[in-house]
Structures are given as structure tokens and as C-alpha cells.
Amino acid sequence: MTDNASAPSPPPASAPGAPQAAPAASDRLSIDDFMKIELRVARVVAAERVPKSNRLLKLQVDVGSEQRTLVAGIAEAYEPDALVGKTVVIVFNLKPAKLMGIESNGMVLAASPEGGKPEVVTFANPPAPGTRVR
């Protein structure tokens, strides 16, 4: 008989850094559905805090062919001045939405680890604003 008491136990599924379960087949997008989402490179040209909000920043971004206003829930992680000049990834073809009375014309992509602050998706060698991300 072997003693299993000394064998290491696997980490719990909710441990930080644990791999996420794969989505059910019915939750997965087809490549055709994914290609409908236009991810674009954008350069932040101005940023400011949204009054009466601890989480929201109002961003003015250059997407190559135009400038857009976006509202992003990243104020807990970024000071507005730190974002100006950064190149980020946005969802370009998202329907406009009003947040705190400001029309947001897109969404900044950010990763938010469980219990952590959001971190925007950026580039080491940024492509030109408006470049499509695939």
C-alpha cells in the first residue's frame, strides 16, 4: 500500500493564475462572427477624469481616419496624463453608448485580473492608428 498523504494536491480552480475553463461549444464564436468585430489601433490624444466617477476616464483617440470619444473604466489604474500618447486597441464598430452623460464611440481593450486593476492592451512597436487588429 502506498501513502498518498504526502502527494502534492492540485491547486484549487479559483487560485490566481489558474487556467480558465474553456467555454462551452455553444458559447464559442464562429470565425465569421469574430470577423464582424473590428479591433483597431488607436492613439490616445487627450484624457480626463469623468466628473462624479472614480472608475471612468473620457478619452479622445485618433483612429487614423477620425478622432473619437470613448469612456473607459480604467481610472483606478491610470492617471489621464499617463495615457496621452499611448497606443491602445479599441473595438471600433461598437454601437455608441451613453455613460455618465457622455457618448462613448468604442471600447478600449483591457485585461482585469481577478481582484486586480485593469491594464490596457498596448504595443512595444505600435502600428499606425487605424490599423486593423486580427
SS3 track for 57-103? EEEEEECCCCEEEEEECCCCCCCHHHHCCCEEEEECCCCCEEECCEE
- In this prediction, residue 21 carries a pLDDT of 62
Residues near 52 by Cβ (< 8 Å), separated by ≥ 6? 100
- In this prediction, residue 103 carries a pLDDT of 97
User: Which residue has better confidence, 15 or 125?
Assistant: 125
Mean pLDDT of the chain: 87
Strand partners, 99: 102
Identify the weakest region by mean pLDDT among 6-15, 56-65, 102-111: 6-15
pLDDT tens digits along 72-90: 999 999 999 999 999 999 9
Position 118 pLDDT exceeds 80: yes
Q: How confident is the model at residue 11 (pLDDT cuts 50, 70, 90)?
A: very low
Element (H, E) at 32: helix 31-35
